[in-house]
A = this chain, B = another copy of it.
């Protein structure tokens, strides 16, 4: 029985990652031990390293996008979300958000569990200094506390395929579920990063008539084409008027039925309002950090008779549906190809650097490779 786990730790903001060895705590009833195959390196991890997120306890073991195999189960059976009893060797992932309480007003009355204030997050807000310590994926093992929502990875999906889209997929699933997407829609997506790309993938899976990706990075637009978007628009090479006209042409003269925002840039908002058709839908999920204020025209918004949704966080449903989506459409999209860089645990710092410099599409750390 394994008793120790090496892990990469951020000692404090901007300090180089160090490797530490932890005792693996005894498994309590309901707990399980996960042997990490891939820990996705996410943009958020870079932010964590730079100390840009509030409420993060350092030293920290980062890593919230984790796939691996069940190493051991505690003294009580543990089930996945489908009700299957898990056993060692099972290939799984889990919802990084833990402890959504389902007892508070936001959870039960407003039915907005992503606004539950009791939530903690593996690899982000959990405290590596406290039991059970192994709370991040940059580690040989992760201790899955009782109540962690675990999802089996279907056999035909590789670990790379399961971790290729990381936490971008649940965000995309949540976003699409809050929009009136149905087959035949003309869709535009602002921002070809991981979230935007997954929104485009979901639009394609849902039978959209056209999916137009807007970004300024040529390589990202090229990648979107590989995933099947029907049109791309480079915002560095076109004017807003060009884009409006092009989207009118693409959609038979009406403009896109649905525009999704996944940019992280406040300037995308007034453009999205310009682009969407009258009576259409605008769904915003990319404004996760504060990039300042922006001028909009309320009269234009009002005149266009819009349905605007903003989307915060992910529920377990979205993670679950994300895994199923990859499994159901595994041969239709080149998910595995997204993982372009793999690092050992000792090279965790290099993984962060690769992510920050955008060298990789998706980097993963393989602590047990």
Chain A residues within 8 Å of B, Cβ to Cβ? 79, 81-83, 100, 102-106, 108-112, 114-115, 147, 149, 177, 181-184, 202, 205-207, 209, 252-254, 266, 268-269, 277-279, 284-313, 315-317, 320-321, 324-325, 328-329
Contact = CB atoms under 8 A, between A and B. Distances in A.
A312 B277 CA distance: 14
A202 B177 contact: no
Contacts of A304: 310, 312
The copy count of this chain in the complex is: 4
Contact of A108 (B284, B298, B320): B320
A292 B303 CA distance: 13
A284 B311 contact: no
A284 B312 contact: no
Nearest to A204: B207
B295 A303 contact: no
A147 B82 CA distance: 24
Contacts of A206: 182-183, 206-207
Contact of A286 (B105, B287, B302): B302
Contacts of A306: 308-310
Contacts of A325: 183-184
B254 A315 contact: no
Contact of A183 (B114, B205, B305): B205
Contacts of A104: 79, 81, 83
